[in-house]
């Protein structure tokens, strides 16, 4: 890679130079664009951002749905050397205050309806120079993106960014607490996406990608943006919240060849009356974000005829680095690390774990983020020389297959023996009454840690002692006694991040030791 490298230019400009401008790039209810049209509007957006005073390495926040405006603004910002930062559109107002304060962003580009409730917050943010509104006026004093872009030139020379210059940030999802801004460089992402393209999806310009995971999520950013544009493929963008009915209708209408989702969303789709014929366009389904339970894999395969390729990545690494392979899926396992990357399993003694021994996964590769912005303590804890400490516990079998055991801070000892919540949850999900489950530790009246289960039941199943007893018997038949939940709390929903990860730390905070939530069975 040359010293001077601009990731936005590498993603888009070469397709125009090589004569692919007439190919469709973006599809969806918010509008369709060819590669040439996207090239023009991205360049115009870059000019518009620069006209507002945005300079290289300054941050611009994007509070946008999955749409052509998101892609064009992101590309335009990177092309002028600025740093786009996509924000979770489902976040709480207090989260936006943190993002604005932490990022010290100069500009905010947002949907009009998202901007209106934030008006008081934006007025008291001194670093913010301008607000740009999409699809409406938004707030007083906001610039209109469409009006600004329309008068700009369609050609834009890329800023001569250095390959080690910040290109974009992604905030972590907050599954373990407060978000952190992972700073990615212009050179990072090529090394993150190419192994997955090579070993798993083998994407070509004939493919059309559709991601249930949103663009503000690192996984969705690569699914719906970086990988398809790198490969010259097409993308379907769904602006609306990806409820199962919307997702299934989008698949039927736009006929994508690649579907990316998360376990929770696959599970929710399985509750619908699925018609196998409507999935005929798909050649591959991918899951990431959290471990895919084996029961969901088997049910999906039975109903659609399609494998789900489960993979593991992280915001800090840039994309998936560990995955099953098409035709070689081991349900319930994560697969193997791509040969382009290095990995270690580090046991409690700080040594390399042996076969069948649990250890924390460390990975190394050129795609790792440079650091967390303004978070030195977390940077030192996570970025260990060439290694990235993932905080995930794995076991490796004799064939080198890795199986997820849980977050390092989710594991607990029961009866003096380590318990993996993932293993217990997988058993519960195999029961026909269970839609979702999460297992955490709670202390009994003697102060000893014991597993308890929070369970979302399928429609029509009674949340009573009879159901709890069925689950007790089911787990006792399949697990060692010390792993079986000592209480079952039936809840309407599990706390999750906007990207679908279960927030176990919130479940641990929810219930005082030995007490069930009101109205629940324990």
Instruction: Report pLDDT for 522.
Output: 44
pLDDT in tens, 191-228: 999 999 999 999 999 999 999 999 999 999 999 999 99
- Residue 410 has what pLDDT? 82
DSSP 51-70: HTT--TT-EEEEE--SSHHH
What confidence score (pLDDT) does residue 334 get?
A: 97
Distance (Å, whole) CA 260 – CA 311: 11
Q: Which CATH number does 1-186 carry?
A: 3.40.50.980
Please report, for the chain, the start and end positions of each structural domain, with discontinuous segments joined by +: 1-186, 188-409, 412-510
Q: Which whole number is the average pLDDT over 129-158?
A: 96
Fold (CATH) for 188-409: Rossmann fold (3.40.50)
Contacts with 22 (C-beta within 8 Å, 6 or more apart), sequence order: 34, 35, 36
Residue ranges of the alpha helices (H) in 232-327?
244-254, 263-270, 294-304
CATH code: domain 412-510 is 3.30.300.30
Task: Specify the pLDDT at position 415.
Answer: 66
pLDDT bracket for residue 269 (50, 70, 90): very high
Please tell me the pTM assigned to this model: 0.85
Same fold, 1-186 and 412-510: no
Does the pLDDT at position 339 exceed 50? yes
Q: If phi over 0 gives left and psi between -120 and 50 gives alpha, with beta otherwise, what is residue 16?
A: alpha
Per-residue pLDDT at 259: 99
């Amino acid at each position: 890679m040359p010293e001077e490298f601009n990731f936005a230019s590498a993603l888009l400009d070469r397709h125009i130079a090589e004569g692919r401008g007439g190919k469709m790039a973006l599809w969806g209810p918010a509008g369709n664009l060819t590669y040439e049209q996207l090239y023009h509007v991205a360049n115009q957006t870059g000019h518009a951002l620069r006209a507002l005073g945005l300079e290289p390495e300054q941050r611009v926040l994007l509070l946008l749905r999955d749409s052509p405006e998101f892609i064009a603004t992101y590309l335009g910002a990177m092309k002028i050397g600025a740093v786009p930062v996509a924000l979770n559109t489902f976040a709480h107002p207090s989260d936006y205050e943190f993002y604005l304060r932490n990022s010290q962003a100069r500009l905010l580009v947002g949907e009009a309806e998202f901007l209106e409730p934030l008006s008081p917050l934006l007025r008291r943010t001194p670093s913010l120079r301008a607000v740009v509104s999409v699809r409406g006026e938004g707030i007083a004093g906001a610039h209109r993106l469409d009006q600004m872009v329309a008068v700009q030139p369609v050609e834009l020379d890329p800023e001569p960014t250095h390959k080690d210059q910040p290109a974009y940030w992604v905030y972590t999802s907050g599954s373990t607490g407060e978000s952190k801004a992972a700073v990615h460089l212009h050179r990072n992402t090529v090394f993150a996406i190419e192994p997955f393209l090579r070993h798993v999806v083998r994407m070509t310009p004939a493919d059309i990608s559709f991601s249930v995971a949103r663009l503000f999520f690192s996984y969705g950013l690569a699914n719906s943006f970086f990988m398809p544009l790198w490969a010259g493929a097409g993308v379907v963008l769904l602006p609306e919240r990806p409820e199962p009915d919307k997702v299934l209708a989008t698949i039927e209408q736009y006929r994508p060849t690649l579907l990316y989702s998360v376990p929770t969303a696959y599970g929710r789709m399985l509750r619908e009356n699925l018609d196998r014929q409507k999935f005929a366009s798909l050649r591959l389904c991918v899951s990431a974000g959290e471990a895919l339970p084996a029961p969901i894999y088997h049910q999906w395969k039975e109903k659609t005829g399609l494998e789900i390729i489960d993979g593991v990545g992280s915001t800090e690494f840039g994309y998936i680095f560990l995955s099953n392979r098409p035709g070689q899926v081991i349900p319930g396992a994560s697969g193997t690390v791509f040969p382009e990357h290095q990995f270690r399993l580090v046991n409690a003694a700080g040594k390399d774990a042996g076969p069948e021994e649990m250890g924390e996964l460390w990975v190394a590769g050129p795609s790792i983020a440079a650091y967390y912005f303004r978070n030195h303590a977390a940077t030192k804890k996570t970025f260990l020389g060439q290694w990235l400490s993932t905080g995930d516990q794995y076991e490796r079998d004799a064939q080198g297959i890795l199986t997820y055991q849980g977050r390092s801070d989710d594991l607990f000892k029961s009866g003096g023996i380590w318990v993996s919540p993932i293993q217990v949850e997988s058993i519960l999900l195999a029961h026909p009454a269970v839609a979702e489950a999460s297992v955490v530790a709670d202390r009994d009246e003697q102060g000893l840690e014991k597993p308890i289960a929070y369970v979302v039941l399928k429609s029509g199943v009674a949340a009573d002692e009879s159901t709890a007893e069925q689950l007790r018997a089911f787990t006792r038949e399949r697990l060692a006694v010390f792993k079986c939940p000592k209480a079952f709390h039936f809840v309407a929903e599990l706390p999750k991040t906007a990207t679908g990860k279960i927030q176990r730390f919130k479940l641990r905070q929810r219930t005082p030791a030995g007490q069930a939530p009101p109205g629940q069975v324990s």
